[in-house]
Amino acid sequence: MRPVIIAANWKMNTTPADAGELARTIAGRTREADVVRVICPPSVCLAAVRDAVVGEGIGVGAQNVHHELAGAYTGEVSAPMLAGLATWVILGHSERRRDAGETDALIGRKLGRAVEAGLRPILCVGELLDEREAGRAVDVVRAQLAGALAGHDPDTLRAAGLVIAYEPVWAIGTGRTASGADASAMADAIRAALRDAGWGSAADDVPVLYGGSATSGNIAEFLAEPAIDGALVGGASLKPDEMAGMVGRAAITAAARRAADA
Ligand code: PGA
């Protein structure tokens, strides 16, 4: 039975002065035992969020990690530096692919660092609008996966709890979403790609999240799809009411899965 996960990507929002209070408010409004909750604040806010959610069972994640362990990389944060601050990490977000020129191969190296450091990776994939319109969405996502996962042992990644977030780039921050059916079809394609890459039936255990303008108002469409295991949420994740609505809906799916599994 796969978990149901709601992961908050706060992006470049909040400060160390206000992140703790926001995290505490969200924690208090989202206490659903069966839902895996993760908050990924800016790196300078990790300590504040960690301290704010002690005892809440909420995972704290970084939004990126460097592909080297240490050295002359001004402004960067390495995986070992996150020890004690984060237990999750987002990798390959489309904004980093776009703004920092991250390639699939580089993201693959980050993935290795994350796993070595015991961080649970959320690997982001997703196509651009013109790629979808050209009918190439699945090919693009397959290539992103192949590039990032190349050379990684499936058993190691599975043990690290690898999560894939399908985030169509045209849906991020636009108010436009994929349909539940399209997201589900992509989740199937992602697991098929993993099977083809040597994962075998372990591909079925990998959680696949949807991301891109997810809100409390549309999350049900995604959580109704058995192939989708939750959401990676940007804008709406900064709003406690929205988080309460999304985690509340996720709890319904989690309970249904538990009942079906019993
Ligand atoms: P959004 O961002 O929910 O604001 O579209 C999602 C993401 O980029 O992870």
**67 noted as active-site residue:** no
Give alpha helix (H) positions in the chain. Answer: 19-29, 46-52, 94-99, 104-116, 129-133, 137-149, 154-159, 180-194, 219-223, 240-261
DSSP 203: G
Regarding pTM above 0.85, the answer is yes
Whose Cα sits closest to atom 3 in ligand 1?
Answer: 234
Per-residue confidence at 33, pLDDT binned at 50, 70, 90? confident
Task: Choose the catalytic residue: 102, 127, 131, 167.
Answer: 167
* Ligand 1 atom at minimum distance from 90 CA: 9
The ligand 1 site (C-beta within 6 Å) comprises 9, 167, 172-173, 211-214, 232-236
User: For 181-237, how does the pLDDT look when each residue is reduced to its tens digit (9 = 90+)?
Assistant: 999 999 999 999 999 989 999 999 999 999 999 999 999 999 999 999 999 999 999
Distance 11 CA to ligand 1 centre (A): 9
The minimum-distance atom of ligand 1 relative to the CA of 236 is 3
Determine contact, residues 100/123, Cβ cutoff 8 Å. Answer: no
Distance CA 152, CA 107 (A): 12
